[in-house]
Every structure is written in structure tokens, then in C-alpha cells.
Amino acid sequence: MQKCHEVSGTQMVTVALRRIDLNPPKGTSGNSNAIIDYIDRKKITLLPNTAGVSFAADALRYARIAVAMECTHLKVEVTGDLTTLLPDPVETLRAVEIIRAHEETKNLYLMVYTNDDPVLARKLADAGAQCVMPAASPIGSGRGIANEANLAILLEMMQGRVPVVVDAGIGLPSHAARAMELGADGVLLNTAIAKAKDPVRMSSAMRDAVAAGRAGYLAGAISAKMYATASSPI
């Protein structure tokens, strides 16, 4: 994991608060066995997330834990369906509202996992989300961007408002590059690297794909056409 962090050049790593032991037993060396102790927080921002909760009130509880851990960022994730692991749009919006209104958690930088609904993304930003994180496709599916048209509209609607990080469903470097070509500010991925046959090499591939996709977006790509156009002037 640490080698993948180093090779990928990642700036942020997310961990599920429900799935980490905040008081782990000591290892044989006397050091903690907590996974977060293997994340270099001098170089990487820790992004705790609320994965596994189904209600806004539970998301608030984990937001308070994030504050107690002296974290500055929180990924809000409220699951609506256990088969697809897609977010619950109603509870997600409520979670943002109550976390932002709570005195203890109001200053957290909220990055919100959502579906690719442009209208919901706008409502989340209005409620206080500082970053929206639409799913390309279901978590861990590796299918890439399932609805490119929706994502393109969402990115256009959010331009100049809040950053957009494409989260979930990325399986190949080409998926990451495409998200960046469309104008995303970043991608969040795990399974594509963690379950690759060579995770470190895949980390390198994803790093290069993100850089290439971003450069392609900034360069201003030509429009696709049905028919040929001579590339040499007459």
C-alpha cells in the first residue's frame, strides 16, 4: 500500500471510519497496527469517510469522530442500496445539511459521494458541499464511466462552483484518463489498484493516465466529426 501511494503520487487517501480500529493492539515491535499509521500524513491528506452508514444522523456521528481525529476533510457517503452500493440521494443531502449546521463539524471540508445526477450535485453544493464526487459506475465494478452524457452535464454545471472528483467504478487507466478529459478535477480509486495483478505498476499507469487526461482537457481537443477533413491545407 505504501509503495502504491509513493508511485501514484496521490495527494489524498480515504479510509472508512467504520472499518478502522481506533485502538488497535500493539504489534511485535510495540507499534500500533492501525492502517492509518501506514499513511504518511506529512505528504498525504487523510480523508476519513462515512461508508457503511444509511442515515444522515450516523454520518454526523462519524463527522464528529473525524474532528476528534484532527482531520480537516470528510467524505460523506450514505448508502441507499446494499446490492449496488449506490448512494441514497435524500439522506446524502440531509447529511450535508446537518453536518454543516452542527457547531462541532461545521468547518469540515465536505467531499460528497453521489450519483451522476447534475441537479443533485447542484443541490449538494448549495447545501455546503465543497466537492462533489459522482460515481462513474458502481463501487468496485471496474466498468468505467457508465453514463458519459450525464457526467459531462454535471461537470459543465459545476464548473466554477466546486471541484468534481470522479469516484467509484474506475477499472482501467483509460477510464481515469477519460474522466479527466471530460474536465474532472481528479479521480478517486482503489479496487483497480488493490486487486490488480501488479498493484505498483497499476499505480504508475493511473498516475500517467490522470496526467495525460488533464493535459488533453487543458489543450482543448478537436470536435469529433462524422466525415473526414483534410489535415493539409490546399
In terms of Cα–Cα distance, which of 100, 130, 97, 94 is closest to 112?
A: 130
With beta carbons less than 8 A apart as the criterion, state whether 68 and 7 touch. no
Does the active-site annotation cover 3?
no
Q: Which candidate in 75, 106, 197, 225 is catalytic? A: 75
Neighbours of 120 (CB within 10 A): 20
Strands (E), the chain: 12-16, 45-49, 73-76, 109-114, 131-134, 165-167, 186-188
Residue that the C-alpha cell 477533413 belongs to: 229
Q: What is the Cα–Cα distance from 23 to 215, expressed in whole angstroms?
A: 43
With beta carbons less than 8 A apart as the criterion, state whether 56 and 77 touch. no
Q: What is the DSSP letter of 102?
A: S
Q: What is the Cα–Cα distance from 82 to 169, expressed in whole angstroms?
A: 16
Catalytic residue positions, numbered: 75
